[in-house]
Amino acid sequence: MKPVVLVTRKLPAAVEDRLLRDYRPRLNPEDRLYDGDSLIESAAGADAIVACHTERFTAQVIDRLPQSVRILANYSVGFDHVDIDAAKRHGLVVTNTPGVLSDATAEVTILLMLGAARRAGEGERLVRTRTWKDWSPAFMVGTQVTGKRLGIVGMGRVGQVVARRARGFDMTIHYHNRRRLPPDQEQGAIFHPTPEDLMPNCDFLAFHCVSTPETRRMLNTERIALLPDGAVVVNASRGAVVDDEALIEALKSGKVAAAGLDVYNNEPNIHPGYRDLPNTFLMPHIGSATKETRDAMGFRALDNLDAFFAGREPGDRVA
């Protein structure tokens, strides 16, 4: 008998086709959002759940999951929406999808850098609202990217791809990571052992770290003060790494010239201050939103399911 798999969101057609071939999936064609109660109810009798970061698997939710559910295969590289300690206590296997989002997320990071630095959001609004009047030497002057210093917090897969792409703009790469990379991965990037050491070297600052208690609100008032005046901040990792009030205040004062954001605290109900500022370039969490990447994420999640139900250790197990 094929395992029953609850699929919490509508997935790409190729991924759902594979699910229909190999499992007994409970699909979500309406792409409705599950809350804790409806998630528990829908999981009755399921052997597995394929979930996204939009579902919160708190300790309370995991405590109430049917005992039949043995694996939670995340359709995401991040797993901060899952209480990993609670999963371990219940013997619930948890997996993620690393390694397949790097190029797409790096592309969005470069988009955020350029969009924020060159005031793309403001310019696009001028064109659409027919308020673009003329050209002058002082019109829409932004920050040049080429030749600047890029600081990267989190030099994992995505951070390393961002560094490679940024070198095409002749940027000098500085980074902070939990540990220094070997020289062949550094590719000349300059390591800083603490965020405080990194900040003064960042004309541009990009976050590519996971959300943990240690990284929560990593960008705060004290660290923003260490940035060069007029720095540009971009975030395509997790909203939790930014103290919203601190960043908004720095954007208002001009200490930070602009911010390009793809992720937020409490998304999609983001801090309204970002919307009110002209020097923010805002994207709706589209870092992995290419056909190629979304298919690859689904196939990676199903590879983990396949391994688990074949009695093998899933390659991307995080709990």
Whether 235 has a pLDDT exceeding 90, the answer reads yes
Q: How far is CA 259 from CA 47, 109, 287, in A?
A: 43, 11, 16
Model confidence band, residue 162 (pLDDT cutoffs 50, 70, 90): very high
Q: CA-CA distance, 53 to 46, in Å (whole number)?
A: 19
**What pLDDT score does 211 carry?**
87
Residue written as token pair 């990217």: 145
Q: Do domains 4-100+291-309 and 102-282 have the same CATH topology?
A: yes
**What pLDDT score does 54 carry?**
94
DSSP code for 235: E
Q: Is 179 considered catalytic here?
A: no
Q: Which of 101, 115, 109 is nearest to 153 (CA)?
A: 109
How far from chain centre, in Å, is Cα 231? 21
- Long-range CB contact pairs, 211-216, < 8 A, 24+: 211/78, 211/80, 211/237, 211/238, 211/240, 211/241, 212/80, 215/240, 215/241, 216/240, 216/241
Whether 67 has a pLDDT exceeding 90, the answer reads yes
Residue written as token pair 């997320």: 105
Q: Which of 140, 125, 280, 258 is nearest to 204 (CA)?
A: 258
Contacts of 289 (CB under 8 A, 6+ apart): 104
Q: Is 285 considered catalytic here?
A: yes
Structure tokens at 191: 């390591």
CB atoms within 10 A of CB 266: 10
**What pLDDT score does 26 carry?**
98
Q: CA-CA distance, 112 to 91, in Å (whole number)?
A: 40
**What pLDDT score does 132 carry?**
96
Give, in degrees to the nearest 5, the angle at Cα 180 between 146 and 318. Answer: 105
Structure tokens at 287: 């870092």
Sign of the four-CA dihedral 272, 101, 120, 221:
positive
**pLDDT tens digits along 177-232:** 999 999 999 999 999 999 999 999 999 999 999 888 999 999 999 999 999 999 99
**What pLDDT score does 205 carry?**
98
Sequence ranges of the domains in the chain: 4-100+291-309, 102-282
Which of 18, 26, 238, 300 is catalytic? The answer is 238
pTM of the model: 0.93
Residue pair 147/169 in contact (Cβ under 8 Å)? The answer is: yes
Whether 50 has a pLDDT exceeding 90, the answer reads yes
SS3 144: coil
| Helices and strands (H and E) in the chain: how many | 13, 12
Average pLDDT over residues 26-39: 95
Which of 16, 70, 267, 271 is catalytic? The answer is 267
Q: CA-CA distance, 210 to 229, in Å (whole number)?
A: 27
Q: Is 267 considered catalytic here?
A: yes
Average pLDDT over residues 147-168: 98
What is the CATH code of the structural domain delimited by 102-282? Answer: 3.40.50.720
Sign of the four-CA dihedral 124, 129, 131, 135:
positive
Render 277-314 in DSSP notation, one character per residue: -TTEEE--S-TT-SHHHHHHHHHHHHHHHHHHHTTS--
The CATH H-level (homologous superfamily) assignment of domain 4-100+291-309 is NAD(P)-binding Rossmann-like Domain (3.40.50.720)
Cite the beta strand spans of 75-229 per DSSP E: 93-95, 149-153, 172-176, 190-191, 204-207
**What pLDDT score does 210 carry?**
87
Structure tokens at 84: 């990993």
Which of 285, 294, 300, 312 is catalytic? The answer is 285
The overall average pLDDT reported for the chain is 97
Structure tokens at 217: 């609100």
